[in-house]
Amino acid sequence: MLRLHSYWRSSAVYRVRIALNLKGLDYETVGHDLRTDQQSTPAYKAINPQGLVPALDDGDHILTQSVAILEWLEETHPNPPLLPKAPIDRAHVRALVSAVVADIHPLNNLRIQKYLKAEFGADQAALDAWCRRWIASGFDAIEELIGRHGAGFAFGDRPTLADCCLVPQVLNAGRVNLDLAPWPLIRAVNQACLDLPAFARAQPQHQPDADPPADA
């Protein structure tokens, strides 16, 4: 049984959950609440020295960094494939992945927001505006790339690693009240993905370590 070290709201973990579900792999979730710095404990840093989620334990090895985990899953469990066959097409998918995980997400994740708040006195409105700025910039480029290469999904007519990364970022955009009207292709891809059970089951609110509903 694979063991996924997680925080339910983490978009990096969300990417991995989607891929695990698409591959049809069973896994156990171990939650670490980033809001209370559970990822910084000595016990967790013995698992992942970076003190970040996700980490994936296959019983013999512990893998870290979401993209490395996604690539490992693709190499060790190639069906169904989440990368196209042609090298040039793989490069296009990896470019879409990088547009999210290298250009958008690092500027908006929780530890950056904590730093902006602590060091510069940013309130929630300022933090949300900061996030909207960088998500919008990235979405402008991704919308263009989907227009070039998409055919129902971010690349082509079936889910790839690009969709595994894009869908969590769309959720993050909603959390900071970013109006998605300027990006109809991203909206359509996101909906096509969420219509698939593998994506729907991976949503944060369905995870065992999720907060209970507000009206529970």
pLDDT digits (tens, 9 = 90+) for 128-156: 999 999 999 999 999 999 999 999 999 99
Cβ count within 10 A of residue 137? 13
The pLDDT of residue 214: 72
Q: What is the pTM of this model?
A: 0.95
Is the pLDDT assigned to residue 160 strictly greater than 90? Answer: yes
As its CATH architecture, domain 87-200 has: Up-down Bundle (1.20)
Mean pLDDT of the chain: 96
Rounded Cα distance, 107 and 125, in Å: 16
What value, to the nearest 5°, has the Cα angle with vertex 176 and ends 19 and 191? 40
As its CATH architecture, domain 2-80 has: 3-Layer(aba) Sandwich (3.40)
Here the tokens at position 71 are 């690539």
Collapsed DSSP state (helix, strand, coil) of residue 193: helix
Per-domain residue ranges of the chain: 2-80, 87-200
